[in-house]
């Protein structure tokens, strides 16, 4: 390999992107473009990095398949980090196949991890797991090992398997120390934080206390009736009634569960979900209809009985009713609640689920995005929204390390 390219690549590897740029800033040959792209990515100019890497891929000759494939992988990672999930997945798969075919297993694994991270970001945990399994058993570089374990942890957290998540994060921490990349260690630490910070609030019989993820996990096997504001569902063990698309019914269920074993007055039931200050006869009529609908939905789990002043929840075959809520309930909580299922939502789907206008949802989303509580990817009609993902993939860039070795 060429002298200055070697020097610049070594500077990049040593975490000195400016040193790398100094050496190749004025050169426009393919390896220099690729190096400049990676340096710009590390410096945070992702837009410029993307253009440089694309130009590099084009500038490499038709016979330099491996070098091209590495550029594609680097560009895919930039796309992932900038949440441009519309990036052509097939191109990445082809690059991965090329790298595998030519024995560049380290970068092939890197490409596979990018695929898995993308799938996890989209909430497709099963597919992410399958992709990880394909990466094979050849020993990974420590940095790659960290990413792999973070994805495994992310999948486990999605599935509420705290023990698996913790084990994966321990392995990730060890690999990060070996890799000696501070950003990766920080990534693992922040992922660990998720397991040690209350992720939910439990409300039962008028009192509440914070819950760790592991405790949330235990609720899945508890005999209590759980009103889950994360998934907008009412459940007991394996019986789940999903009210994700019925926000009014869910709101009623929640108010009833929170008051249980006491009843709730008609006025309170109307003031909450209907957001009406003064209940009139039409509201009362609507309440009767909605309670009827909720009764039908909850049939396998509970009944709703009328009392003198309102309604009371009557759970079947359990002595406990719990409400699982977000640690802090805030403005736009309804939007957040839907988004926290980890799936990407279009604003029109959210509007539909919440029974509000697309414009209202749009305003909520924009406000939430400004405080980094939600994020979007895609443009126009393809735009999707989701909450910041569970830890599972580094937000920073790793980029194919030995991109320019040969």
Partner 1 sequence: MKRSAAEIVREYGPFEGVKAVHGVSYDGTHVWFASGDKLNAVDPASGEIARSIDVAAHAGTAFDGRHLFQIAEDRIQKIDAATGKVLTSIPAPGGGGDSGLAWAEGSLWVGQYRERKIHQIDPATGKVLRTIESNRFVTGVTWVDGELWHGTWEGDDSDVRRIDPDTGRVLEQLDLPAGTMVSGLESDGGDRLFCGGGDRGNVRAVRRPRRTAPR
Residue at token pair 């000195």:
16
Cα of 398 vs its chain's centroid, Å: 19
Residue at token pair 């390999």:
1
Q: Is 178 in the site for partner 1 (CB under 8 A)?
A: no
Shortest distance, position 55 Cβ to partner 1, whole Å: 15
Measured from the CB atom, is 59 or 224 closer to partner 1?
Answer: 59
Q: In the stretch 53-72, what mask flags binding to partner 1 with x, by CB under 8 A?
A: --------xxxxxx------
Q: Which of 6, 111, 115, 118 is nearest to 69 (CA)?
A: 111
Shortest distance, position 132 Cβ to partner 1, whole Å: 25
Q: How far is CA 252 from CA 208, 321, 345, 375, in A?
A: 19, 14, 24, 29
Cis-peptide, bond into residue 136, ω within 30° of zero: no
Shortest distance, position 18 Cβ to partner 1, whole Å: 15
**Residues 81 to 140 in contact with partner 1, rule: CB under 8 A:** 102-103
Q: Is 380 in the site for partner 1 (CB under 8 A)?
A: no
Q: Is there a contact between 147 and 393 (Cβ–Cβ < 8 Å)?
A: yes
**Residues 313 to 372 in contact with partner 1, rule: CB under 8 A:** none
Cβ neighbours of 310 (radius 10 Å): 20
Shortest distance, position 145 Cβ to partner 1, whole Å: 18
Q: Is there a contact between 227 and 323 (Cβ–Cβ < 8 Å)?
A: yes
Q: In the stretch 24-53, what mask flags binding to partner 1 with x, by CB under 8 A?
A: ---x-xxx----------------------
Dmax over CA atoms of the chain, in Å, equals 87
Q: How far is CA 116 from CA 127, 133, 134, 148, 279, in A?
A: 8, 10, 10, 9, 51
Q: Is 10 in the site for partner 1 (CB under 8 A)?
A: yes
Q: Which of 23, 117, 232, 332 binds partner 1 (CB under 8 A)?
A: 23
Measured from the CB atom, is 100 or 290 closer to partner 1?
Answer: 100
Shortest distance, position 340 Cβ to partner 1, whole Å: 44
Residues that bind partner 1 (CB under 8 A): 1-7, 10, 23, 27, 29-31, 61-66, 102-103, 402, 405-406
């Amino acid at each position: 390999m060429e002298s200055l390219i070697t020097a610049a690549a070594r500077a990049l590897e040593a975490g000195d992107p400016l040193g790398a740029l100094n050496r190749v800033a004025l050169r426009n040959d393919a390896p220099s473009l690729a190096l400049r792209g990676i340096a710009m990515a590390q410096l945070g100019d992702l837009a410029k990095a993307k253009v440089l890497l694309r130009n590099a891929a084009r500038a490499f000759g038709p016979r330099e398949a491996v070098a091209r494939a590495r550029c594609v992988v680097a560009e895919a990672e930039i796309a992932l980090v900038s949440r441009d999930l519309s990036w052509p997945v097939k191109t990445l798969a082809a690059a991965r196949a090329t790298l595998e075919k030519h024995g560049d297993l380290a970068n092939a694994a890197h490409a596979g991890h990018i695929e898995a991270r993308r799938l996890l970001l989209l909430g497709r945990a099963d597919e992410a797991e399958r992709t990880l399994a394909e990466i094979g058993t050849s020993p990974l570089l420590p940095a790659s090992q960290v990413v792999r374990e973070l994805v495994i942890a992310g999948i486990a957290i999605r599935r509420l398997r705290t023990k698996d998540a913790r084990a994966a994060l321990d392995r990730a921490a060890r690999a990060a120390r070996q890799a000696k990349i501070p950003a990766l260690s920080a990534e693992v630490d922040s992922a660990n934080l998720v397991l040690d910070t209350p992720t939910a609030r439990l409300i039962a019989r008028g009192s509440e206390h914070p819950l760790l993820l592991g405790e949330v996990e235990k609720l899945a096997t508890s005999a209590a009736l759980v009103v889950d504001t994360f998934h907008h569902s009412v459940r007991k063990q394996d019986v789940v009634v999903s009210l994700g698309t019925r926000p009014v019914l869910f709101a009623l269920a929640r108010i009833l569960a929170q008051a249980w074993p006491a009843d709730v007055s008609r006025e309170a039931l109307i003031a909450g979900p209907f957001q009406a200050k003064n209940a009139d006869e039409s509201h009362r009529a609507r309440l009767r209809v909605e309670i009827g609908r909720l009764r039908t939905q909850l049939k396998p789990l509970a009944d709703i009985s009328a009392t003198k002043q309102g309604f009371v929840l009557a759970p079947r075959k359990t002595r406990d009713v719990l409400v699982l809520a977000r640690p802090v309930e805030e403005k736009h909580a309804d939007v957040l609640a839907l988004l926290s299922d980890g799936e990407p939502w279009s604003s029109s789907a959210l509007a539909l689920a919440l029974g509000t206008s697309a414009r209202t949802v749009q305003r909520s989303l924009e406000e939430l995005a400004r405080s980094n509580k939600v994020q979007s990817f895609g443009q126009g009609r393809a735009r999707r929204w989701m909450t910041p993902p569970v830890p599972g993939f580094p937000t920073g860039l790793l980029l194919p390390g030995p991109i320019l070795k040969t």
